[in-house]
Structure 1
Amino acid sequence: MWNWWLFSCLALCTADQFRDEAIRIMSQTPLIDGHNDLPWQILKKFNGQLQPKEANLTQLEGTHTNIPKLKAGFVGGQFWSAYVPCETQNKDAVRRTLEQMDLISRMCTIYPETFLCATSSADIAQAFQEKKVASLIGVEGGHSIDSSLGVLRALYRLGMRYMTLTHSCNTPWADNWLVDRGDDKPQSNGLSTFGKEVVKEMNRLGVIIDLSHVSVATMEAVLSLSQAPVIFSHSSAYELCHHKRNVPDHILQLVNKTRSLVMVNFYNEYVSCQKEANLSQVADHLDYIKNLAGPGAVGFGGDYDGVDNLPTGLQDVSAYPDLIAELLRRKWTETEVKNALANNLLRVFREVEKVSSNNILPNENVIEFSEMESNCRTSYGYPDHSPQHQPGALPVVLTLPLLYLWLL
C-alpha cells in the first residue's frame, strides 16, 4: 500500500514537472496552430455577427475556442479558416469567402488587445513580442477562387496567406481526397493544366499551398511542381490511422525532401480511426511524422471548432500545454518542441515569401470555359461562348412602318 502511494505521488510530481517545463517553453515560443474553424461557428451561431452579447469572444460558450482558452493554451499564432462548403461551388463561393475573411478582420478590429491581423512572418514575430495572437487567414477550398487567378490575387491582397487546394469536392482543376476513397471520380488526375498555373501563381504571390483534403495524386503533383515548401494544415499520419485524409509514408518522405510541413489534426477519426481517441495517440502521430519526415516537418493543426469528436485530454485549445508536456515526457528536446510550436511554420512561411516575386508579371491564363459548370455563370471574354449583341427595339419600330408603306 505504501509503495502504491509513493508511486502515485512520484507520477503526479513528474507530470507536474513536465507541464511546468511545457509552460516555460511556450512562454518563450508560443504555439502557431494551422487550422481553426471558429469563424465558421460564428457564422452558424450568429450569422457572422460579433457584436451581440452572446458572441463576445471573451466569454463565448459552446465552442472549443474563445479568448481565455487561447491564452491558457499559449496560442500565439492562428490560421483562422475562411471556410465555405462545397455546395457553394459555382454559386456564391466567392461572396461567402469574402464574408468569412471580413469576419476574421473584424475579430482584430473588435479585440485589438488580443488579436493582431498578420500577413507576413514578420507580423507573427511582432505579435509574439506584443503577446497577441497573430491572426492569419487560410482559405479552405480552391472552389473559393471560382477557377480564377484574378480572384486568387484579390484574396491575397485581402490577407489570404494559405489556400487549401480542395475541400471535400473536386475543383475543375484539382482532385480531392474522396477520389482515393472511391466516392468521387478523378477529374484532373491530380492537377489539370490550369491547376498547375494556380500552383505557380500561388508561388509568385507568396501564398502557402495547403494539401490537406487533396488526393494523393494532387499531393504528388504539387510537391514535384511547387518552388516553395507546402503545408498540410490539418492532417495526420496514414500509417497510424488508415483514413484517406491522412498523409501516407511516401508523401511524408517527399515532405522531408521539400522541407514541407505536416500540422497534426486532432479529429478522433483521423487520430485513431474510431470515435474515441486520447492525447497519447495524438502524440503518436507527432512522433511518427518527426521520425519519418524529420523534426522540421511537424506542427499542430488541431481543427478545433471544425470537428465534433476530440481526444480525451485535448477538449479545447486551452489543453495544448498538456500535449507539449507529453512530448517532453517522450524525450523531445527543447529545440524540437520549439520547432514544432512555431519555428517550423515560420521557416516555411519565410521560404514561401522568399520564392515570391513582384518582378514577374501576374499570370493572365484563364481556364477553358468548357471545364467549368456554366449554369450560374456568364461567358464574357470567351470568344466562342460570348452572348451575341441582340438588336434593340428601335430598329424593329422603324422597320414596321417601312414594311407597311411597301405593302401599300
Structure 2
Amino acid sequence: MKGLAGEQQAVSKQRHPRRRFALGLLVAVACLLSLVDRTSLDSAWDCLRTCKRALTPLPLDPHERALALLERQPIIDGHIDLEILARWYFAYDLDDPKFDLRKKVTGHVDIPRLRQGKVGGFFHSVFVPCPEDAGYPSDNTGNFTSPSFRVRDTLEQIDAAHRIIDRYSSTLEFTPTAAAWRRAIKRGKIGGMLGVEGGHQLGASLATLRAYYALGARYVTLTHACHSPLADSCGMQGQDLAPRWGGLSPFGRAAVREMNRLGMMVDVSHTHPKTASDVLSLSQAPPIFSHSNARGVHPNVRNVPDSILRRIGSIDPARARFNLSHDGERGEGWGADTGEAHLAVPSGDAIVMLNFAGMFVSEWPNDPSRGGKRADVQAMADHADYIGRLAGREHVGIGSDFDGIEDPPEGLEDVAHYPNLIAELIRRGWSDQEIMGLTSGNLLRILDKVEAVAHSQRHLEPIHAVFEGRSDLVKHDKPPGH
C-alpha cells in the first residue's frame, strides 16, 4: 500500500503540465529581474537551472526518480572512515598504486563509486581506538589522563584527510562551511568536512578541541565505545559498562559550550542515552547522531531509544503528547518512565543519520537462520521510516559508517548503492522534499544553524576549563625548579 501511495503521489505531480509551465515561466521572469541588479554568472546559472528543473517532470519509476532527485540534492554522508582504511591497509602511503581512488579500491569508497552513488560530499571520520584507561572494556577506574598516542594518531588522520582531498582536488574539495559545500556541489565537486569520532581523542584538553576545529573538524563524537573525559558511552552490545559520569561530565558541559562557540557540531552517536539527553538540554546549537539507528526497530545499545526520538519529534508543536507504549520499545526503553519525550530542546533542531552497519540494522545480519531479519535495503528503510515517524522526516539523514564496517546491508554494499535506499523510500511514499532532506538538505540546515549560533557568540572568549583528572595543569606560586 505504501508503494502504491507513493506512485499515486508521483502520478498526481505529472498531471499538471500547464501548472509546471507557469511555474517555470515565473522562475524565468524572476531570474531576469534578479539580473537587473545582479550580474553574477553564478546567479544567472542558478536561476536557469531552477527554471529547467521546474519545467522538467520527474520520472515515475522509483529508481529513476531517485537518481533525478539526487542530481538536485546529492548525498552528504555524515560518517565515512576512509582515513582509517588508509591507515590500516596502506600506512598512509598515498602513492601505493592499490590506493588510487580514481579506480576501485579496497573497501567501500572511491571516486567512480562516489559518482555512481550521486554523492555530493561526506564527513571524513578521523578515528583512533579507545585508550586502555578509559573504561574499556571493563576497567572503569582510570582517570583518562595517562600519556598516550591518541592525539598524535588523530593528527595523522587529519593530515591524511587533507592529503587525500588535495591529491584528488579535481574531484574532492575541503568545504569548511555549509555555504562552501553548496558551492562545491554546484561546481560538481565532492565536498568534505572532518569529524573526530571520540572524546578520548582530545587528550582531556579544550585547546586540542580548538586545534581540531582549526584543522577542519566540524564535529566531535563525545564518546566512542568507551567513556571519555566528556561523557558516558553506551558501550557496545554485550559489554557491561557501568556509567561513570551520569551523562555529561562537568568538563563535557564546558566542551559542549565551547563547541557551540566554535561552530562545531556535538555528535552523540556512541553515547549513553543520558549523555544524549544532557546534550539536547544544554546545547544551543542542534546536536547530531552522526551514525545511529533506532532501538525500536532493532534493540542494539548503539541505537537511539524511542524516548530520545520522541523528544526530537516534540520540537514540532503540532505533535500531541506521546504514548511510548505504542512504539517499538513498548514503553520499556530508556527514559520511558521519566517524561523524557516531553523535555524541551533549546536548539530547536537535531538530526539522526542512518548507520549501515548490519549489526545495528537487524538482529543476526549474517545468519538469518537464527531468527533475525536479514540486513538489507528494506530493513534499512524500516529504520528511516521509524525515525521519521517518531522524530519527523525532517530530522533524518545518512551516516553510513562505510570503510568502518564489514557487514553493510544487502543492496547497500558501498557508496555506489545509495540510490537503492532512496528508491525504496520513494516506494514507501516519501515526498520529493522529504527525500531531498534525507540526502543532504536536513544536514545542511543543521550546519547553517550551528554556524549561526557560533556567529551569535563570536564576541565570547574561548572557554577555560581544566579536566578534573589533570594533575599536570595547576597554578603555582613559585617558578619551576623551586
TM-score interval w.r.t. the shorter chain?
0.7 to 0.9
TM-superposed CA distance for 1:185, in Å, is 2.1
Q: Which amino acid aligns with 2:114?
A: L
Which residue does the alignment assign to 1:358? 458
TM-superposed CA distance for 1:182, in Å, is 5.8
- Asked whether the equivalents of residues 18 and 326 of structure 1 are also in contact (C-alpha less than 8 Å), the reply is yes
Distance 2:473 2:392 in 1: 49
| 1:141/1:297 CA distance change after superposition, 3 Å | same
1:53 aligns with 2:97: yes
1:122 aligns with 2:146: no
Structure 2: segments with no counterpart, 5+ residues? 1-58, 135-145, 316-347, 367-374
TM-superposed CA distance for 1:76, in Å, is 0.4
SS at match of 1:214: coil
TM-superposed CA distance for 1:381, in Å, is 3.7
Distance 1:183 1:306 in 2: 23
Distance 1:26 1:361 in 2: 41
TM-superposed CA distance for 1:92, in Å, is 1.0
Which residue does the alignment assign to 1:284? 382
SS at match of 1:178: coil
1:314-333 equivalences under 5 Å are 314-333=412-431
2:443 is aligned, of 345, 351, 358, to 345
1:206-221 equivalences under 5 Å are 206-221=263-278
| 1:278/1:109 CA distance change after superposition, 3 Å | same
Distance 1:244 1:75 in 2: 29
1:4-403 equivalences under 5 Å are 17-87=61-131, 90=146, 91-178=148-235, 183-256=240-313, 257=315, 258-276=348-366, 277-356=375-454, 357-368=457-468, 371-372=469-470, 379-383=472-476, 389=481
TM-superposed CA distance for 1:18, in Å, is 1.0
Distance 1:22 1:208 in 2: 29
Q: Which amino acid aligns with 2:399?
A: G
Question: What is the RMSD of the two structures over their aligned residues, measured on CA atoms?
Answer: 2.0
CA offsets, 1:39-87, max 9 Å, x none? 1001001111212211111124221111101000011020010011113
Structure 1: segments with no counterpart, 5+ residues? 1-14, 391-408
Distance 1:17 1:141 in 2: 41
SS at match of 1:79: strand
Distance 1:179 1:43 in 2: 24
Which residue does the alignment assign to 1:406? none
Distance 2:203 2:479 in 1: 21
Give the TM-score of the pair, scaled to structure 2.
0.74
Distance 1:210 1:380 in 2: 27
Answer with 50-59 or 213-222: which moved more.
50-59
Answer with 80-89 or 130-139: which moved more.
80-89
Task: State the structure with more CA Rg.
Answer: 1
CA offsets, 1:324-377, max 9 Å, x none? 111111111100000111110011001000111221000012112xx25x7xxx
Answer with 206-215 or 246-255: which moved more.
246-255
SS at match of 2:92: coil
SS at match of 2:412: coil
Distance 1:215 1:387 in 2: 43
Distance 1:62 1:55 in 2: 8
Identity of aligned residues (%): 41
- Asked whether the equivalents of residues 104 and 112 of structure 2 are also in contact (C-alpha less than 8 Å), the reply is no
Give the TM-score of the pair, scaled to structure 1.
0.87
Distance 2:283 2:412 in 1: 34
Answer with 172-181 or 159-168: which moved more.
172-181
Distance 2:104 2:160 in 1: 16
Distance 1:57 1:227 in 2: 39
Which residue does the alignment assign to 1:403? none
- Asked whether the equivalents of residues 158 and 194 of structure 2 are also in contact (C-alpha less than 8 Å), the reply is yes
| 1:300/1:71 CA distance change after superposition, 3 Å | same
- Asked whether the equivalents of residues 172 and 187 of structure 1 are also in contact (C-alpha less than 8 Å), the reply is no
Answer with 48-57 or 195-204: which moved more.
48-57
CA offsets, 1:186-210, max 9 Å, x none? 1111011111000000001000011
